[in-house]
Amino acid sequence: MTRFMISTALTCLLALPAAAATVAAGDELAETQQYNFWLLDAIKTTDPQKNTDVEGSDILRQLFEGLMNEDQKGAMVPGVATEYTESDDGLTYTFKLRPEAKWSNGEPVTAQNFVDGWQRAVDPATASEYAWFMELMNITNASEIVAGNAAPDTLGVKAVDDHTLEVTLTKPTPYFVKMVSHPTTFPVLKSVIDEKGDAWTQPGNLVGNGAYVLTGHNLGVDITMEKNPEYWDAANVVLDKLTGITVNDQNIALTRYEAGELDRFQIPAGQYPRLKEQYPDQAISLPYSCSYTYLINVSDKGREELKDVNIRRALALGLDRDIIVNQVLQGGQKPAYNWTHWAMEGFEMPDIAMASMSQADRTAEAKQLLEAAGYTPDTPLNLTLNYNTSEDHKKIAVVAQQMWKPLGVNLTLNNMEWKVHTDRMQNQDFELARYAWCADYNEASTFTDYFRSTGKNEGKFNNADYDKLLDEAVTSENPNDQYKAAEAILAAEQPLIPIYHYAKVDMIKPYVKGLPLENVMQSWYAKDMYITKH
């Protein structure tokens, strides 16, 4: 990312109007403004600080509004905040809040509501599973509070007055502003939580400041939202009603989409080409900021054989990613030879030698490397791959198994549910593990930070040069240089086998307008959407 600010303190007057739905010229609005979207599973909670799911975040962005929103291309636009200033040292951010913002019960949205929400996120008493997000933002004292060593009210965020919020950070964090559209940072009305307790998020109780109010939530069936008349920009909100419909089976979801019950759903792996042909105006494939990989355990608990970089390289070479992308997934995903998703804002793809080789060369080299280590199809290296239950993961694992077999690697597939998979990864109890990382904000460091020695890094990759590069990147004029160098280290050391970069492969009814088709984060706001006559 190129710095969006020069060197001196700078007031970012966000010039763009915080546009709600702008109906394109020539579009005629439909009579009923209702949007029915698909949910794979039940929504676990509508509490912004307790939510952990992507689908839950989709719901929360309609019910609440943070300091900033994302526009259709993923750029930050004003939400509750109209402008912000960053101090010279990059350690203090001051947000001006719009005075007309209101809660759905008519109370004004104040800076204190944000302070309450943020303190609530880090307070160990809330036991928020996303407390780490506040630590990632580098807010003063966040880590101490999460660890229980400081009181929640010492968090580096304060309400200067009703409409001014001041945040202090422990170190300059260039991507800070990109993080304040995340649901964990949404404000809450404390009086409602105090009064209703855990039940405050239920329909009828929930008070939000978003463009929609929660009107119904049947676990595993549907969740309904209606337009919030108190929303400050309600005049420009077009959609009246939103319904999230849970359909556990993607094939049934397709049938219901075709029957008109769903306006959007995710295409099952392998079906995109067929659907694209049948519905050229409805099947879409967009870059989506997640990377799919097989992690290698290089910790002390890992296999001795996998500490040999040549073996790791051989495994990476031996996978024909073009087959996985073009013949298994078939949804416009891109083969990956690096870690960071190619479409991250400002990220330039480093040159990785493996990427430009032909598969025949890769396979030949893989074979050679394995042979040199003493492994052939007759004396194979036995490895185990853990993956969590999913039709797509299973397919890719089966293919990998067959691709490695002729090279002298005998792969055992070990399918387990997510909780067990995660647990074993966190305890370094694996050899190879399927994993995917999705960006928390639109900047490459969300990926590269993963492999820091202090990062999440379940395979326990440990490289001092790598850590140093990322430290430099924070204050670098052009952090992309550091990211490139870091990626080069990953490519040389191969603590992971990158497989592909995600795409969002969906069917969308042609009459649904205003979805953020160019935002790699795929965050959508119903207030920007509308339905045309059909």
Partner 1 sequence: MFGYILRRLAVAIPTLLLLIVFSFLLMHAAPGGPFTQERALPPQVLANLEAKYGLDDPLWRQIFDYVWRIVTDFDFGPSFVYPDRTVNQIIAAGFPVTLTYGLLSFLLAVLVGVTLGAAAAIRQNSWLDYLAVGISIGAQVLPNFVMAPILVLVFTLILGWLPGGGWSFSDPSFWIMPVIALGTSYMASIARITRSSMLEVLGSNHIRTARAKGLPPRKIIMRHALKPALLPVISFLGPCFVSMITGSVVIDMYFSTGGIGKSFVDSALNRDYAVMMGITILVGALTILFSLLVDILYAWIDPKIRY
Partner 2 sequence: MTMIEHDKIKGMSDRMAAAEVRGRSPWADARRRFLRNRAAMVALFVLAGVILFALFGSHFAAWSYDSIDFSVMGSAATQGAPSMANGHYFGTDDLGRDIFARTVQGTQISLMVGIVGAGVAVIVGTLYGATSGYVGGRTDQVMMRLVDILMSIPYMFVLILLLVIFGRRIEMLFLGIGLISWLEMSRIVRGQTLTLKNREFIEAARAIGVPSWRIIIRHIVPNLLGVVAVYATLLVPLMILTESFISFLGLGVQEPLTSWGALISEGAGTMRYGTIWQLAFPLGFFCVTLFAFFFIGDGLRDALDPKDR
Shortest CB 448 distance to partner 1, Å: 17
Match 């492999």 to its residue by tokens.
451
Under rule CB under 8 A, residue 453 binds partner 1: no
Under rule CB under 8 A, residue 261 binds partner 1: yes
330 binding partner (options partner 2, partner 1, none; Cβ < 5 to 8 Å by kind) = partner 2
Match 């007057």 to its residue by tokens.
13
Residue 21: is it exposed, middle or buried by C-beta count within 10 angstroms (0-12/13-18/19+)? buried
Return the residues of window 14-33 that contact partner 2 according to CB under 8 A: none
C-alpha span between 212 and 223 (Å, rounded): 12
Torsion angle in degrees (nearest 10) through CA of 472, 478, 481, 483: 60
Return the residues of window 30-49 that contact partner 1 according to CB under 8 A: 41-42, 44-47
Dihedrals φ, ψ of 61, to 5°?
Answer: -65, -20
Span interacting with partner 1, options 61-69, 129-137, 156-164, 280-288, rule CB under 8 A: 129-137
Pattern of binders to partner 1 over 403-442, x per CB under 8 A?
A: --------------xxxx-xxx-x----------------
Q: Which residues contact 184 (CB under 8 A, 6 or more apart)?
A: 48, 49, 51, 121, 128, 130, 133, 134
Match 């405050």 to its residue by tokens.
200
Residue placing its CB nearer to partner 1 in the complex, 145 or 316? 145
Return the residues of window 267-326 that contact partner 1 according to CB under 8 A: none
Shortest CB 401 distance to partner 2, Å: 7
402 binding partner (options partner 2, partner 1, none; Cβ < 5 to 8 Å by kind) = partner 2
Are the CB atoms for 244 and 37 separated by under 8 Å?
yes
Under rule CB under 8 A, residue 454 binds partner 1: no
Residue 155 has a CB neighbour count (10 Å cut-off) of: 25
Shortest CB 149 distance to partner 1, Å: 8
Under rule CB under 8 A, residue 285 binds partner 2: no
> Which residue pairs, CB below 8 angstroms and at least 24 apart, start in 216-222?
217/43, 217/46, 219/42, 219/43, 220/41, 220/42, 220/246, 221/245, 221/246, 222/246
Q: State the alpha helices, DSSP H only, in 80-201.
A: 111-122, 131-136, 142-146, 176-179, 190-196
Q: Which residues is 497 bridged to in the sheet?
A: 294
Under rule CB under 8 A, residue 271 binds partner 2: yes
Among 149, 389, 426, 475, binds partner 2 (CB under 8 A): 389
Q: Indicate the DSSP class of residue 324.
A: I
Residue placing its CB nearer to partner 2 in the complex, 349 or 399? 399
Residues contributing to the site for partner 2 (CB under 8 A):
249, 251, 254-255, 268, 270-271, 274, 323, 326-328, 330, 389, 391, 394-395, 397-399, 401-402, 413-417
Residues contributing to the site for partner 1 (CB under 8 A):
41-42, 44-47, 50, 52, 124-125, 127-129, 131-132, 146-148, 198-202, 218-222, 245-249, 251-252, 255-256, 258-259, 261, 417-420, 422-424, 426, 456
